[in-house]
Amino acid sequence: MNTLRLAELTTEDAERAVTASPLVLLPAGAFEQHGPGLPLSTDLVRADRIAELVAAELDGRALLGPSLPVGVSPHHLAFAGTVSLTTTTFAAVVREYVESLHRHGWRKILVVNGHGGNNASLSTVAQDLLVTHPDLGFAWTPLTPLASDVVADMDVSEVHGHSGEAETAQLRRLAPELVHEKRLVPGTTRRAELDSLGTLSRQAAITFPVTYDRLSRNGVLGDPRRAAAGHGKSLVDAIVARIAGFAEEWLAS
């Protein structure tokens, strides 16, 4: 049995874990389209397995709390199967997970977030907690942006991102059984394929979201077939190492 998951512990185990494992990792995913080759749960699977690897790395000082299987995905709702929470409901769920854990004595909580659409809501929770729970530390981390140097070394398409090279590489590494290898096909790969609003939405500094049906016919940005064998390992290793490094410093603080 996996003793790193709070879900699988008994209440007596949990009582000991408050002291022994003072850091709780909350895997946050999404339930949204990932193109023709990846499953709807891609983001949760990545977050969950990376959280597990981080917890293993920390050797018992961290454990996985309850997960967030559905995230904030309004931009993907035009694609069948996408299930989305509103920003305020997602934030409420995170806040209430945190409040329960805080009640039992945990003071360090890190959301391991596999879905960019959750970023803003997670930050609002972090802000609200500064006032309501001043004795609590709350942080959240994305996945792929932690390894942007690794992505830079991959031969990615001009346009790449959602369900593209880096994400597919991670899922192949973490859950190859969920990847439909034969259905992997490129989505939008060149800037010239984007219309003017789509181009504007991908500016670096200015936030201007558009829905994904405008960005890509099949929901994919980039070419998932271009991820060479070792990329998944490099990405996952880098992400795990960086989260674990952060956690080590936090636990030592």
User: What residues from 17 to 36 belong to the interface with its own copies (CB under 8 A)?
Assistant: 17-18, 31, 33-36
Q: Helix axis angle, 229-252 relative to 165-174, nearest 10°?
A: 80
Choice from 25, 49, 82, 151 touching its own copies (CB under 8 A): 82
Applying the rule CB under 8 A, the residues between 35 and 74 that interact with its own copies are: 35-41, 44, 65-67, 69-70, 72, 74
**Smallest separation, CB 153 to its own copies (Å):** 17
Please enumerate in sequence order all residues whose Cβ is within 8 A of that of 68, keeping only pairs 6 or more positions apart, or say none. Answer: 26, 27, 28, 29, 44, 90, 93, 94, 97, 111, 118
- Binding segment toward its own copies, per CB under 8 A, in 46-54, 165-173, 192-200, 227-235: 192-200
Whether the CB-CB separation of 224 and 171 falls below 8 Å is answered with: no
d(CA 153, CA 40) in angstroms, rounded, equals 27
Q: What is the rounded radius of gyration, in angstroms, for the C-alpha atoms of the chain?
A: 18
Is 65 or 186 the residue whose CB approaches its own copies more closely? Answer: 65
Q: Specify which residues 137 forms β-bridges with.
A: 108
Is 192 or 209 the residue whose CB approaches its own copies more closely? Answer: 209
- Binding segment toward its own copies, per CB under 8 A, in 47-55, 142-150, 154-162, 230-238: 142-150
Choice from 128, 136, 237, 238 touching its own copies (CB under 8 A): 128
